Amino acid sequence: MDFLKPRYTPMNRRRRIYEGKAKVLYEGPEPGTLIQHFKDDATAFNAQKHEIIDGKGVLNNRISEYIFQNLNDIGVPTHFLRRLNMREQLIREVEIIPLEVVVRNVAAGSLATRLGLEEGTQLPRSIIEFYYKNDALNDPMVSEEHITAFGWANPQEIDDIMALAIRVNDFLSGLFLGVGIRLVDFKIETGRLWEGDLMRIVVADEISPDSCRLWDIKSKDKLDKDRFRRDMGGLVEAYSEVARRLGILSETENPTANGPRLVQ
């Protein structure tokens, strides 16, 4: 009685809305929804460096699901609806604001380089930075002046984005501290969610070790994408460790053996 089974659209017949470096967005089952598919691709330095890392997509899907579900549960609005399978989640369609919003607690990466700070220096307070999402320009840092002048977001929206970023920082800092991890910095993206005539800004995209710097508090080991950026190896092991500590991946589960594999 095969015809009685719910029909699903095979991946290659779904309408592809957008393909990014690490994810693909497909049309969702209902209007206003999309399917976010996590690939195994790792890129850095504006995709000059690129590798397929078996299992990364599965881990990021699970870790991002866990974080977004918790944000939803504490009243921080996000685009996340639910995870569908090992590599995919159902999300609300939002109008992405073309900014990468970076929150930093500890000097590292480009901030350490730009201001000549030693990596690991605690910052006097959390710092929010904005980067204009534009690969051709290599995501340049911009100020609120640029954002309002070019109409990427208005002053009220910038206030909302900063308030969201701070709430996400407080939640994530506590979450990771509880499992022995220091949240050094992270990046979020935000989008406009329309509900009739009402619009609100929500957290979009993903939050995973691809978009955070996570250092083990005791050993100072890096448990994030810097392992790939800096050719340190052990990326899947590090992401698995983050998932294991958060209690979302049992020790016997093997992320590389699960889920559909994207045909390149």
Binding residues for ligand TMP, rule: CB under 6 A, are: 100, 102, 108-111, 139, 185-187, 211-213
> Using the rule CB under 6 A, which residue among 11, 14, 21, 245 binds ligand ASP?
21
- DSSP per-residue codes, the chain: -GGGSPP---GGGSPEEEE-SSEEEEE-SSTTEEEEEE-SEEEETTTTEEEE-TTHHHHHHHHHHHHHHHHHHTT--BSEEEE-SSSEEEEE--EE-SEEEEEEEE--HHHHHHHTPPTTPEEEEEEEEEEE--GGGT--EE-HHHHHHTTSS-HHHHHHHHHHHHHHHHHHHHHHHTTTEEEEEEEEEEEEEEETTEEEEEEES--STTTEEEEETTT--B-STHHHHTT---HHHHHHHHHHHTT-S-TT--GGGSSPPPP-
Nearer to ligand ASP, 77 or 109 (CB): 109
Residues contacting ligand ASP: total by CB under 6 A: 8
Q: Which does 47 bind (CB under 5 to 8 A by kind): ligand ASP, ligand TMP, none?
A: ligand ASP
What minimum distance in Å lies between the beta carbon of 206 and ligand ASP?
11
What minimum distance in Å lies between the beta carbon of 208 and ligand TMP?
9
What minimum distance in Å lies between the beta carbon of 138 and ligand ASP?
8
> Using the rule CB under 6 A, which residue among 19, 20, 46, 155 binds ligand ASP?
46
Q: Which does 187 bind (CB under 5 to 8 A by kind): ligand TMP, ligand ASP, none?
A: ligand TMP
Residues contributing to the site for ligand ASP (CB under 6 A): 21, 43-47, 225, 229
